[in-house]
Amino acid sequence: MKEVAKLCIVIPCYNEESVIDITLDHLTQKMSQLIEKKIIHEDSKIVMVDDGSSDNTWQDIMEIVKSNRYAEGIKLSRNRGHQNALLGGLMTVKNHFDVTISMDADLQDDINAINQMMEAYYAGAQIIYGVRSSRETDSWFKKHTALGFYRLLRWMGVDSVYNHADYRLMSRVALDSLANFKEVNLFLRGMVPMIGYKTATVEYKRSERVAGESKYPLRKMIEFAIEGITSLSVKPLRLITFTGWFLFILSIIISLYFLVVYFSGNTVPGWTTIVMSIWIIGGVNLLAIGVVGEYIGKIYIETKERPKYIIETYTRDMHEVKL
């Protein structure tokens, strides 16, 4: 029989003081059950990554750690965003566990799916994606913008798992491979499918946030979408080239028409055509420069190789267990 795996659940937390206690209660129960059923090793942990919260999240984490044998915490030096916080947590724990599961702090991801995830892991999968089976609890707006986003990604040639956010199991082997991706601009759900290995998906029903507010308002969602596309695809640049070709061919055709009109002596002061040309060509030009600029900006940031996260401190005996 295979040895039971040591599991680490990694949870990025940003201003989550209102949910962290409830989440930990649920997860602790779950851990105990899993250990009892010999699905996971008794030294399994729940690691919360405080992403520079401005509320009492870190104090709460330290409090929880005192009375909870599974809980540990990592405090980042400042707010770096969900993706960086998650990667920081995963990279910190990866050498000490057989498997990690990443999930949000708000219990929107059904923790009962962990059982199926572990099953799939024992069956040989290295990466297991939690996939939402329904979006009933989402608003009409969120549902449609999210679906549109997946479609757009696919069209741009990005291989992302449909309806999968960042609820996912990754084995140590998969995490070691992820560690080789050096990029500073992170879009984990697009990067992980590039790793390969045997994968599986587990469906779950996503519920509403237990408490607190979403940290992803529309503005952040749009930024995240742009980040995802520009990080994983150069199709926008190609689209510019196509637009350029299209306008070029169009201009030849139109020029022929202009010449015909000129030689037939019918030229009139064409105010409308001139003004339209100026605006359209000017607009397309600016757009094209903007898109190219986005990529140059990314190259600029990437070349600096700034740290993606800085760890300020750990809880309790995390130094001793060398997490």
Q: What are the residues binding ligand UDP (CB under 6 A)? A: 12-14, 16, 51, 79, 81-82, 85, 104-106, 108, 214-216
Among 50, 106, 109, 110, indicate the residue that binds Mg ion (CB under 5 A): 106
The least CB distance from residue 80 to ligand UDP, in Å, is: 7
- Asked if 110 interacts with Mg ion (CB under 5 A), we say no
* Type of residue numbered 256: L
Nearer to Mg ion, 15 or 108 (CB): 108
Contacts of 54 (CB under 8 A, 6+ apart): 15, 79
Among ligand UDP, Mg ion, none, residue 216 binds (CB under 5-8 Å by kind) = ligand UDP
Nearer to ligand UDP, 106 or 110 (CB): 106
Other beta carbons less than 10 A from residue 94's beta carbon: 20
The least CB distance from residue 57 to ligand UDP, in Å, is: 8
Please give the torsion angle defined by the CA atoms of residues 290, 78, 76 and 56, in that order, rounded to the nearest 10 degrees: -130
Contacts of 105 (CB under 8 A, 6+ apart): 11, 12, 13, 14, 16, 19, 20, 23, 48
- Asked if 201 interacts with Mg ion (CB under 5 A), we say no
Among Mg ion, ligand UDP, none, residue 51 binds (CB under 5-8 Å by kind) = ligand UDP
Please, what's the b/e burial string for 15-32 (b: 16 or more CB within 10 A of its CB; e: otherwise)? Answer: bbbbbbeebbeebbebbe
- Asked if 50 interacts with Mg ion (CB under 5 A), we say no
Greatest C-alpha distance within the chain: 93
- Asked if 18 interacts with Mg ion (CB under 5 A), we say no
Kindly list the strands in the beta sheet with 7-13, ordered across the sheet, starting from the edge strand earlier in the chain: 199-204, 127-132, 164-171, 99-102, 7-13, 45-50, 71-76, 311-314
Residue pair 230/285 in contact (Cβ under 8 Å)? The answer is no
Nearer to ligand UDP, 207 or 243 (CB): 207
Among Mg ion, ligand UDP, none, residue 206 binds (CB under 5-8 Å by kind) = none
Question: Could you tell me which stretch among 48-56, 102-110, 165-173, 311-319 binds Mg ion (CB under 5 A)?
Answer: 102-110
Nearer to ligand UDP, 4 or 105 (CB): 105
Query: Which stretches of the chain bind Mg ion, using CB under 5 A?
Result: 104, 106, 108
